[in-house]
Structures are given as C-alpha cells and as structure tokens.
Structure 1
C-alpha cells in the first residue's frame, strides 16, 4: 500500500506536521509513504494555482493521496485518484465576515473538496457536526489526533505555595486575557508559550501577575514545559481539537479547559471544566486545584487513562483500516 501525504507550506505553521509526523512514524512499518509540502504559503489565486499544479504533478493512480489539512483546495488536482481529506475545524469559515470571501471558502475549501474526496476525516465529533450543518454527506469519519509519544508521565510534587501555570497560545481564541484577570491575587507563576501582544503585557502589569514568556520552542522544549509546570491551562473559546489537553494529561498534570466542544469530548471528564466566558469560573478552578489535593490527584489519574485513547499506535491502526477500504 502506498500513501502520498500533502502538507501545507511549513511557514504557515507546524501543528499539522507535528500531528501527522506522529502518525506516519507508526504507519511506516506497513505503508510505503511519500511526503510533499506545497510550494506556496499564500491563498491568493496565483498561490492556489501553483499548489494545485504541484499536487497534480505528484498524483499517482496506484497511491492513496492524503491531504492533511488547510490546503483543501488542492483536491481539485486529485479528481479520479484515491483521496482522503482531513478537516481539523471550520475556522476558515467562522472567521470570514466578507460574504464573497466566505462563499469562495465554502466552495473551494469545503464543498468541492468533500465532493472530490473518497473519505473525509474529522478530528472530532464537533468538526463532523459542524460540517453536516453546511453539507449533507456520508463521507465523514471521526479519527482523533494522536499524541506524540515523547510525552510520558513525569512525577512532580505539586507546588502549593506558588504553582506554575502553563498557558499554551496567545491567539484570539486562547483566552489569555481572562486567564490573567482570573489569576489576580492568586500566588502563582504564569508561564505563557507564544508571542505576547502589547495589550497582554499591559494586562499582566495591571493585575500584578508574575509571568514569563517563551516562543518558538522545539518539541523537546515543549515537553519540558509540561514536565516543569503544575497546572496546564487551556480555557479556549474555540478549538478544532485541543491537543494541549492530552499532552498535559499524558505528562501527568492537572488540566483546566473549557466546557465547550470539542474540549468536552477530548477531556472526557478528566479535566477541570470551566465556562471560558466567565472569569469567576476560571478563577474557581485554580483555587480548587490548589486547595484540594484529593480532587487534583483524582483528575491526574483519570487524565493518564484518558490519554491512552490518543496513543500513536491506536490512531495509526484506525488510519490503516481506513486506507485498506480504499485499496
């Protein structure tokens, strides 16, 4: 069996590369694999044409072609060959207010790609349901993302006096502003991964938050951040999946996340669920974790068990069974 994987340009981001690298390393034993990255990182017509032409030149009638995400429009080059498309979320529609741009995205990132693909993999049930509100299709299959095996349980005595709270991401959806406000007056150190905006730094000073910041970490660096923290903080207002929840659980850390889908699905009752719109809800989560040892330990144990669902071996076996149906 031969599978050709197509990735977006690496300058757009490495998150999809990371997820599939974990998967591919397990599939390598039973599948012949080729990996391609499209040459253009933009989404203007010239970039799209270049990427579609590149993909067309890599098509192979004997192979399964797997578009790993973000570059859905290159499916136009794969009509007539076996194809799998992974859709991570519909943020490309949800964030577009211009009706003409939204129509373009709907047609060339959703409608035509789904019509062309043999199977569409959704990384959560939430993504599947969101797609079904846009298009009725029987091609959808849910396969979760795999957690990188570099994440392993690491014991650490909880720092009651000044816990380290690890916050992943500084984008609009990561809810850092409410996190900062929620931590006002709670002795802790806030460790933020991602480039801070000027207004976020101003908020840190306003609420007198002891914090540090790091960007562009290696995989080993990310692993060490989880290992060194006491609490993983991920109260997002929007997510396609929520890998930090699983990475935190796999490391053996208590996780705070939002009571929205797909984070409810991913956490599976093994995290502190908060209302991401309410500062008081987020604040109460930290206070309970710090003061209630039995509660915290119970969640950590449940998290370690939950993380097994997302092992590379488990997810790779699901993809392998999927590919076999297309042979």
Structure 2
C-alpha cells in the first residue's frame, strides 16, 4: 500500500504538519509513504494553478492520495485517482465576509473537493455537522487528531500562590483579551505562546497581568511549556478540534476550555469549562482551580484517562482501515 501525503507550504503554518507527522510515523510501519509540500503559499488563482500542476505530476492510480488540510483545492488535480481529504474546520468560510471571496472559497475549497474526494475525514463531529449544514454528502467520517507521544504524564506540585497559566495562540479565536481581563488581580504568571499584538500588550499592562512571551518553539520547547505550567488556558470561541486540550490532559495539567463544541466533544467531562464570552465565568473558574484541590486533582486524573482516546496507535489504526478500504 502506497500513500502520498499532501501538505500546504511549510511557511503557511506547521500545525497540520505537526499533527500528521505523529500519525505518519505510525502509518509508515505498514505502508510506503511519500510527503509532498506545495510550492505556493497563497490561495489565489495563480497559486491554485501552480499547486495543482505540482500535484498532478504525482498522480498514480496505484497510490492513495491524502490531502491533509488547508489545500483542499489541489483535489482538482486528483480526479480519477484514490483520494482522501482531511478537513480541520471551515474557518475559511465562516470567517469570510466578502461574498465573492466566500463563493470562491466555497467552490474551490469545499464543493469541488467534496465532489472529487473518495472519503472526507473530519477531525470532530462539530466539523462534520458544519460541513453538512452547507453541503449534503455521504462521504464524511470522523477521525480525531492523534496526540504526539512526546506529551507524557508528569506530576507537578500546583503553585497555588502564583500559578503559571499557559495560553497557546494569539489569534482572534483564542480569546486572549477576555482571559487577561479575567486574570486582573489574581496572582499568576501568564505565559503566552505566539506573536502578541500591540493592543494585547496594552491590555496586559492595563490590567496589571504579569506575563512572558515565546514564539517559534520546537516540539521539545512546547512539551516543556506544558510541563512547566500549572494551568492550560484554552477558552477559544472557534476551533475545529483543540489540540492543547489533549496535550494538556496527556501531560497531567488541568485545562480551562470553552463549554462549546468541539471542545466539549474533545475534553469530555475532564476539563474546567467556561462560557468564553463571559469574563466572570472565566475568572471564577481560575479561582476554583486555584482554591479547590479536590476539583483540580480529579479533573487532572479524568483528563489523562480521556487523552488515551487520542493515542497515535488508536488514530493510526482508523486511518489504516480507511486506506485498506480504498486500496
């Protein structure tokens, strides 16, 4: 069995590469693997053309072609061969207001790829339902993301006097501003991973929240950030999945996340849930974690149990079964 994995240009972002690298290391034990990265970063017509030409040259009727996400439009070059498409979320549609751009994305990133692909993997039931609300298809199945085995359980004495709160991501959906507001007056250190904008820095200073910042981290660096923290903060307002939930649970840290899908689906009952638009809800949850030892310890224990659902062996087995059905 031979599988070609297609990735977006590496400078666009490493999140999809990182998720699938873990999976590929397991899959290649039973398959011949090739990895192809797109030559162009953008999604405009010229980028689409160049990426499709590159993809077309790799076509092989005896190979399963797996488009790992973001570059859905390269399915246009894979008509007539065995194909799998993974869709992580529909932010490319949900976050676009210009009607012409929205139609362009709908046509080339959703409608045509779904018509061409043999199977479409959604990383959560939330993503699946979102797709079905826009397009009726029977090609969808749900396979979760796998957690990297480098995230292993390690106990840490909780710092009640000044917990380190790890916040991963600074984009519009990561809810950093409301997190900062909720932390005003709570002794803590906010560790922010990702590029901080000037308005976010001003907000940190305004609310007197002690913080530090890091970006462009290696996988080992990220692992150590989890190990060094006391709380993983992930009260997002929009996600396709939410890897920090699982990485935090697997490491043995309590996770704060939003009581919305897909975070509920991913975390199960093993996280400290907040209403992401309610500063008081977020603040009360931080205080409960700091002051309620039993709640914190039970949540950490249940989180580690929940994280086992996302082991690389479990997830890779589901993908291999899918590939065999297409072979």
Partner of 1:240: 240
Aligned partners of 2:242 and 2:44: how far apart in 1?
29
Q: Deviations over 1:26-76 (max 9, x none)?
A: 011101100000100011211110000000000111000000000000000
Is 1:162 the equivalent of 2:175? no
1:41-120 matched pairs, under 5 angstroms: 41-120=41-120
Aligned partners of 2:75 and 2:49: how far apart in 1?
12
1:120-135 matched pairs, under 5 angstroms: 120-135=120-135
Aligned partners of 1:163 and 1:263: how far apart in 2?
23
Q: Unaligned stretches of 5+ in structure 2? A: none
Partner of 2:310: 310
Aligned partners of 2:307 and 2:121: how far apart in 1?
20
Is 1:4 the equivalent of 2:4? yes
Aligned partners of 2:197 and 2:103: how far apart in 1?
31
Q: Deviations over 1:120-176 (max 9, x none)?
A: 000000000000001111000000000011000011000010000000010000000
Aligned partners of 1:47 and 1:92: how far apart in 2?
16
If the length of structure 1 is used for normalisation, what is the TM-score?
1.00
Partner of 1:280: 280
Partner of 1:266: 266
Is 1:180 the equivalent of 2:180? yes
Moved over 2 A (4+): none
Count of aligned positions:
327
Q: CA RMSD in A?
A: 0.4
Partner of 1:141: 141
Aligned partners of 2:200 and 2:79: how far apart in 1?
46
Aligned partners of 2:46 and 2:106: how far apart in 1?
19
SS for the counterpart of 1:52 is: helix
Aligned partners of 1:165 and 1:79: how far apart in 2?
47
Q: Deviations over 1:101-124 (max 9, x none)?
A: 111111110000000000000000
Partner of 1:202: 202
Q: Deviations over 1:163-196 (max 9, x none)?
A: 0000001000000000000000101110000010
Aligned partners of 1:133 and 1:33: how far apart in 2?
34
Q: Deviations over 1:192-216 (max 9, x none)?
A: 0001000111111111111100011
Partner of 1:39: 39
Q: Unaligned stretches of 5+ in structure 1? A: none
Aligned partners of 1:161 and 1:99: how far apart in 2?
51
